[in-house]
Structure 1
Amino acid sequence: MFTKVKDFFKKETVCCIAFLLAVVSMFFIPPSVNYFSYIDFRVLALLFSLMAVVRGFSSIGVFTRLGTLLLHKVHSLRTLAALFVFLCFFFSMLITNDVALITFVPFTILVLSMADQRQALIPVIVLETIAANLGSMLTPLGNPQNLYLYTISGLSLWDFIRIMLPYSAVSALLLILFLLVLPKVSFQAGNFSTVQTESSACSTDKPASSRSHRNPRILFAAYCILFLICLLTVLHILPFQIMLLIVFFSFLILDYHVLKDVDYFLLLTFFCFFLFIGNIKQIPFVHDLIAVLLVQHEVSIGIISSQIISNVPAAILLSGFTNNYSALLIGVNLGGLGTLIASLASLISFKFYANTDGSNKKRYLGIFTLYNAIFLVILFGLYRFFG
């Protein structure tokens, strides 16, 4: 029993901490009907719906097939690495950073192994992780903290992109520079058409036949429509209640298995942090102290707090004490760089690599920390210079 609890805590550390914080805060502010006013149900509905739609696409192998199509003309390690890194960079803008990594890191491990380039696994996976974290910061759909801050800030879509565009653009240039450091090793790409089949063994993509008896083309069309419905809600055109009902009942009809794949612990984490922050805001001393510390230091505090509790809970926590959402947005997104827990998506890549044969975890952590530190220093310097 103790082992199971320990394993669960390791797997869902942030959720467990959020739950404990919520419970502790209840001793200071007893439960009441006011608790309902703490919860941003729109954010929770959007998170659930987007996760379900992305899992739906993944269940019919959309992302893996797209990656496979792009591999046919690859003949060098540098080109292959660039392909995977920028797949993560651009896909993360629409399917979130964690889903991009869940989709492409196992695919990368398989392809590099088939191409006899396992020595490049660590730098490529580390760059994929950085690419997913930094590519995702450009759009409200890119990661949970963006969706949350976009929803509560009242920023227009254009204003949101305008704030983050310089950092994404510089990130793309830095990724190119780092890719140029990789050796220009040529090789025969081989029969990569087998990758799609074999990658199902190490990817979250599952063949449609094992998940639903419906035609994959019909499912793809339906998921595209559901994604557009979610997008209409993100843009404040469609009420979130209608979106939630449409998405939920659509998956009950199309493929109810997808609903089992949604990360409900992420939703619970948000729920618990909403309770904790709502209660903390009712304690005058604590509220005033955090608010004073944050004044004109949203970016720095956002980065520092992300290193300790990761950037999603940092965004939720700090948003309750400042109205400077633009600076906080920059802080928690740049804060995804740094330690392994600064962005929980980074743990996904590490777990995949750690499970490969002959993995060198110390070397991975060393290169991961070095690369992240360089990106963080440069991007924070960009903020200090132009901000």
Structure 2
Amino acid sequence: MSKVLRFFQKDLGFTIALALAVVSMFVVPPNPSYLGYIDFSVIGTLFCLMCVVAGFRECGLLDWLSGRVLGLASHARTVSLLFVILCFFCSMLLTNDVTLMAFVPLTLVVLRSSSPLRIAWVVSLETTAANLGSMLTPIGNPQNLYLYSHYQMQPAAFFRTVAPVCVVSFFLLVGCVFLSVRGKPLAPPQSAAPLDKKRLALHLILFAFCLLTVLRVLDYRVSVAVVLLALLLLDRTILPMVDYRLLGTFAAFFILVGNLGAIGAVRDFLASVMEGREMVVSALVSQVTSNVPASILLSGFTDDGRALLLGTNIGGLGTLVASLASLISYRLYLKGEKAKPGMYLGLFTALNVTLLVLLLLFAQNVLL
């Protein structure tokens, strides 16, 4: 019994998501439609990415890149700014999830000599940068891809909607780095073990499969099969390193949101409050359900795709669950030697709530 309690206490995010999903099952009893709730593409792709990132770490790639980064920039402010800018722009093409999967582990290695406060703050900034930068392209995040397709948006109209918020976000983030991170020298890189080039080649190939899946070129089931088979045959030590609780957290959220959408009273309430308040309502709903499920849930109640696009992207700020990419980043942060969960959540929430309010006010008064 004590082992079970420790299991659930170890990951409160998973425990809360599971508890909410179970409670929702009493309102909407399990039925065949439950299978339609869970986005297996997201879970399968995330599994593949976690395998690949673990492989990069084990073959020494992150330590090698850390040495290269510190060779180019040896001060905390410069390195922090570099990572924030890279997360912002890479997320536009690689998606916010993939960008954070790549850069957060690298950040933990590069900043390992820094204080827990600085590490938590920089990862918070990176996470926010990836979420905000990803809004500029239809493929930057899942809600953009869905809304772009659902409302049959034209590329020019899409960019006109999100570009002003994206530009303002960039300057706010750069300002945060300059105001909050001092130019303190970082410790020189430790002598790293040589790269395991054969292992690296394997995981680079698997990463290519992941990217093809993210870009909708390859079905996720193909990537899952390839990754599983390759690791079972060539690098099976990676499989126990996958964060299976995070995958369970995603599944629980999908069930919760699916059940909420199946409750008539919830649908009636959303229909009554949406008209004329699409952006604010979608941003608020995202705080509880995360912005991808919110975009799917709310698109059935409005024809104003522009407001919903802004609301779900800005609504990715705020709580840790407002964007599932933020949850991924948090789980990666917890793997660091100097992880302080309470400190991180406090810094992350303060930064995100502040930017959420500022960007909502900007969009409401300037764009709508």
TM-score range, shorter chain: 0.7 to 0.9
In structure 1, what is the equivalent of residue 105 of structure 2?
Answer: 103
1:304 aligns with 2:284: yes
Query: Is the contact made by 1:44 and 1:270 (CA closer than 8 Å) also made in structure 2?
Result: yes
Which of 142, 145, 160 is residue 150 of structure 1 equivalent to? 145
Partner of 2:41: 42
1:10-61: per-residue Cα shift (whole Å, max 9, x none)? 5242x33332333333333333333333333333322222332333323323
Q: Deviations over 1:35-94 (max 9, x none)?
A: 333333333322222332333323323344223212224354532332343354456664
8 Å contact 2:121–2:347 — kept in the other structure? yes
**Equivalent residue number for residue 200 of structure 1:** none
Within-5 A mapping of 1:313-324: 314-316=291-293, 319-323=296-300
Number of residue pairs aligned between Structure 1 and Structure 2:
355
Q: 1:83 to 1:169 in 2, by over 3 A?
A: same
Residue 278 of structure 1 corresponds to 258
What's the counterpart of residue 5 of structure 2?
A: 5
Q: Could you tell me which residue of structure 2 aligns to residue 386 of structure 1?
A: 367
Shift of 1:186: 7.1
Quickly say closer, same or farther: Cα 1:353–1:341, change in 2 above 3 A: farther
**1:232 matches 2:230:** no
Structure 1 position 249, deviation (Å): 0.9
User: Shift in Å at residue 334 of structure 1?
Assistant: 2.6
Q: Aligned pair in 2 of structure 1 residues 300, 158: CA closer, same or farther (>3 Å)? A: same
Question: Hey, what's the Cα distance between the residues in 2 that align with 1:33 and 1:121?
Answer: 44
Correspondence 1:255 to 2:235: yes
Task: Give the direction of change, closer, same or farther, for the CA distance of 1:375–1:68 in structure 2 (3 Å limit).
Answer: farther
Q: Deviations over 1:108-132 (max 9, x none)?
A: 542446xxxx996676455344334
Structure 2 SS opposite 1:237 = coil
- The residue type equivalent to 1:243 in the other structure is S
Structure 1 gaps of 5+ residues are 198-206, 209-214
Deviations 1:182-227 (A, max 9, x none): 587575x67x242x63xxxxxxxxx79xxxxxx8323333333323
Taking every aligned residue pair, what percent have the same amino acid on both sides? 35
Other-structure match for 2:15: 16
Q: Distance in 2 between matches of 1:90 and 1:65?
A: 22
- Following the alignment from structure 1 to structure 2, what is the Cα–Cα distance between the partners of residues 158 and 63? 39
CA distance in 2, matches of 1:44, 1:121: 28
Matches within 5 A, 1:1-387: 1=1, 5=5, 8-9=8-9, 11-13=11-13, 15-74=14-73, 76-90=75-89, 94=94, 96=98, 98-100=100-102, 102-112=104-114, 124=122, 126-137=124-135, 146-147=141-142, 150=145, 154=149, 162=159, 164-181=162-179, 185=183, 192-194=188-190, 197=192, 216-307=196-287, 309=288, 312=290, 314-316=291-293, 319-323=296-300, 327-328=307-308, 330-339=310-319, 342=322, 343-344=326-327, 347=330, 355=338, 371-384=351-364, 385-387=366-368
Contact 2:146 2:296 in 1 (8 A): no
Distance 1:171 1:158, change over 3 A: farther
Question: Under a length normalisation based on structure 1, what TM-score does the superposition of the two structures give?
Answer: 0.71
Q: Aligned partners of 1:158 and 1:223: how far apart in 2? A: 37
Partners of 2:352 and 2:53 lie apart in 1 by 27
